[in-house]
Amino acid sequence: MEDGGIQKLIMPKWGLSMAQGKVVEWLIDEGTEISAGAEVVEVETEKITGAVESPVGGTLRRLVAQPGQDVPVGGLLAVIADPSLADEEIQRFVESFVAEEVEDDSQADVAEPASVDVGDLKLRYLQRGEGGVPVVLVHGFTGNLNNWLFNHGPLAEGRAVYALDLPGHGRSSKDVGDGSLEFLTGALRGWLDALEIPAAHFVAHSMGGSVALALALSEPERVLSCTLIGSTGLGSEIDADYIAGVVNADRRKQLKPYLERLFADGSRVTRQLVDDVLKFKRLDGVGNALRLVADNFVVDGQQAWVFRDRLAELSVPLMVVWGAHDQIVPARHAAGLPHTVEVQILDDCGHMVQMEAAGEVNRLILRFLEQA
């Protein structure tokens, strides 16, 4: 521990635009012995609500920030220290703490998104970390690179991790061609070529799972491993009403109930999150792009891009992670897969399990990458 046995717990930086977070609820009482990785406090940002994990084990000696309090990124939330340390030492540490002087990785990370031309497309991406074997994060339908805001940094220790916006999504070009899986997979392949990434580990969510599987089946030498999170492509069932709803809703009151289906706890959906999706949908070309993809992706109320019967063809390590309460793509699609596929079902989570149980998902991915 630092400062004579004292460790600070500070407000993390989740996403490029986060400046502060609001303390919602302390999950652990003051004076409790905790382990590294324990979820200590729930924090709400303008985008999403998430749990902050302890960086170390020790005793939670002082809860500094109170529920309802806004704390800047890098600001002090709590103090973790040995129980033998005098209360006066804890108090002196709290009083001398200056948030602006915190040399925290989340504040030092100045990575900004970049764009690269892939044929007539311009695809946005964000790189964090350097070296090692690269990891590529692929979002789902209507998503973007911010879907990985709780995962991107933790996964980028000792390796380059890229998150991209697929065509028609985020700030990439809104041209999706004919809206087919072949077009999306071709764009991903072209993006890899443009960045001179010959092969990578892939972590893909929802519809992104179908894109990653299509690439793995067509060019297995480029996919070193594949982690599929709440993935499509493993069964025909899907909440087609959700797909149609998010495409057609054009007001907050219409859109919010659909977005709430993404989480086991719908209260995680903030007003800002709804507004951000609406703002994206009102960009020129977005409506047509989403409809084209949706019309290819979901046909007669079922998934059209299904690879379940072809998984045995894959020689790459494959892990499937699912939220037990996924309302969009049922977790039962994880049952009966080839014995070579590792399956992890997380309780109390929905479709956005990489946000709802970020710490556990990150640990699963990192362990899987080490073994792949």
Q: In this predicted model, what pLDDT tens digit does every residue of 271-294 receive, in sequence order?
A: 888 999 999 999 999 999 999 999
Q: Are residue 87 and residue 160 in the same domain, yes or no? A: no
Q: List the CATH number of the domain containing 53.
A: 2.40.50.100
Residues 229, 321 contacting (CB under 8 angstroms): yes
Rg (CA), the chain: 21
Query: What pLDDT is stored for residue 103 in this prediction?
Result: 43
Tokens, residue 302: 């079922």
Query: What pLDDT is stored for residue 80 in this prediction?
Result: 95
Flag whether 195 is in a domain: yes
Q: Are residue 258 and residue 339 in the same domain, yes or no? A: yes
Domain boundary (82, 108, 134) is at 108
Where is 87: in which H helix or E strand?
helix 87-96
Average pLDDT of the chain is 92
Q: Are residue 273 and residue 209 in the same domain, yes or no? A: yes
Flag whether 223 is in a domain: yes
**Dihedrals φ, ψ of 35, to 5°?**
-105, 160
Flag whether 1 is in a domain: no
Q: What is the DSSP letter of 55?
A: S
Q: Is 229 exposed, middle or buried (0-12, 13-18, 19+ CB in 10 A)?
A: buried
Q: Are residue 214 and residue 132 in the same domain, yes or no? A: yes
Closest of 162, 158, 160, 122 to residue 139, by C-alpha: 162
Task: Round to whole Å and give the CA distance between 342 and 269.
Answer: 30
Residue with tokens 């946005």: 124
Q: Are residue 155 and residue 268 in the same domain, yes or no? A: yes
Flag whether 148 is in a domain: yes
Q: Are residue 288 and residue 353 in the same domain, yes or no? A: yes
pLDDT at residue 107 tops 70: no
Domain boundary (108, 140, 174) is at 108
Query: What pLDDT is stored for residue 2 in this prediction?
Result: 53
Q: Are residue 261 and residue 182 in the same domain, yes or no? A: yes
Query: What pLDDT is stored for residue 37 in this prediction?
Result: 86
User: Band of the pLDDT at 110, cuts 50, 70, 90?
Assistant: low
Query: What pLDDT is stored for residue 96 in this prediction?
Result: 84
Query: What pLDDT is stored for residue 102 in this prediction?
Result: 45
Span 156-181, pLDDT tens digits: 999 999 999 999 999 999 999 999 99
pLDDT at residue 99 tops 90: no
Average pLDDT score over residue span 51-72: 92
Q: Are residue 190 and residue 77 in the same domain, yes or no? A: no
Flag whether 168 is in a domain: yes
pTM for the model: 0.85
Tally of domains within the chain: 2
Flag whether 209 is in a domain: yes
User: Band of the pLDDT at 51, cuts 50, 70, 90?
Assistant: confident
Average pLDDT score over residue span 202-208: 98
Flag whether 175 is in a domain: yes
pLDDT at residue 104 tops 50: no
Flag whether 127 is in a domain: yes
Query: What pLDDT is stored for residue 335 in this prediction?
Result: 97
User: Band of the pLDDT at 4, cuts 50, 70, 90?
Assistant: low
User: Band of the pLDDT at 220, cuts 50, 70, 90?
Assistant: very high
Q: Are residue 232 and residue 317 in the same domain, yes or no? A: yes
Q: Residue 339's CB: how many other CB atoms inside 10 A?
A: 6
Give the 3-state secondary structure percentages of the chain, helix then strand then coil, rounded to 5: 35, 25, 40
Task: Round to whole Å and give the CA distance between 60 and 327.
Answer: 36
The residue that leads in pLDDT, 307 or 108, is 307
User: Of the ranges 38-47, 134-143, 163-172, 282-291, which one carries the lowest mean pLDDT score?
Assistant: 38-47
Average pLDDT score over residue span 255-269: 94
Domain boundary (73, 108, 143) is at 108
pLDDT at residue 48 tops 50: yes
Task: Round to whole Å and give the CA distance between 45 and 257.
Answer: 20
DSSP helix/strand/coil, 289: helix
Tokens, residue 63: 């809860």
Residues 6+ apart with CB under 8 A from 320: 227, 228, 231, 234, 334, 337, 341, 342, 343, 344
Between the alpha carbon of residue 29 and those of residues 34, 41, 63, 80, 221, the distances in Å are 10, 10, 8, 12, 50
Query: What pLDDT is stored for residue 337 in this prediction?
Result: 96
Q: Residue 186's CB: how many other CB atoms inside 10 A?
A: 19
Q: Are residue 273 and residue 365 in the same domain, yes or no? A: yes
Task: Round to whole Å and give the CA distance between 220 and 14.
Answer: 33
User: Band of the pLDDT at 111, cuts 50, 70, 90?
Assistant: confident
Q: Are residue 172 and residue 49 in the same domain, yes or no? A: no
pLDDT at residue 108 tops 50: no
State which residues form the domain around 23.
6-108
User: Band of the pLDDT at 12, cuts 50, 70, 90?
Assistant: confident
Q: C-alpha angle 7/11/17, rounded to 5°? A: 150
**Dihedrals φ, ψ of 118, to 5°?**
-125, 95
Average pLDDT score over residue span 8-21: 84
Q: Are residue 137 and residue 42 in the same domain, yes or no? A: no
